[in-house]
Amino acid sequence: GNSVTQMEGPVTLSEEAFLTINCTYTATGYPSLFWYVQYPGEGLQLLLKATKADDKGSNKGFEATYRKETTSFHLEKGSVQVSDSAVYFCALSPNQAGTALIFGKGTTLSVSS
């Protein structure tokens, strides 16, 4: 079956530190991979996505590379800001129209100044 595993949080960093949030997946076929972010009091927002192996998704300084050989899609940012404090969700789509996304458990990031 399809599943997503994320590193447990919370992750606590100082401003300008390097961020990695690990995500691995299990899927049949060739899924698309996503990172969603949930800021306090808000809904889920798409942060970035990658639709095939070796694709790199990027947005707002965040990056993630679709690694088929390691079934991973780790989220990275070179220098975090206080405003990046949020919950980050890794997700996959089995790539059939209308098929639901499968989410990881979420990782809480807290950045202090």
Residues that bind another protein (CB under 8 A): 32, 36, 41-46, 49, 51, 89, 91, 93-106
12 or 14, CB closer to another protein? Answer: 12
Written as six digits, the tokens of 109 are 């990031």
* Smallest separation, CB 42 to another protein (Å): 6
Residue 112 burial by CB count (10 A; 0-12/13-18/19+): exposed, middle or buried? exposed
For residue 70, is it left (φ>0), alpha (ψ between -120 and 50) or beta? alpha
* Smallest separation, CB 61 to another protein (Å): 19
* Smallest separation, CB 17 to another protein (Å): 25
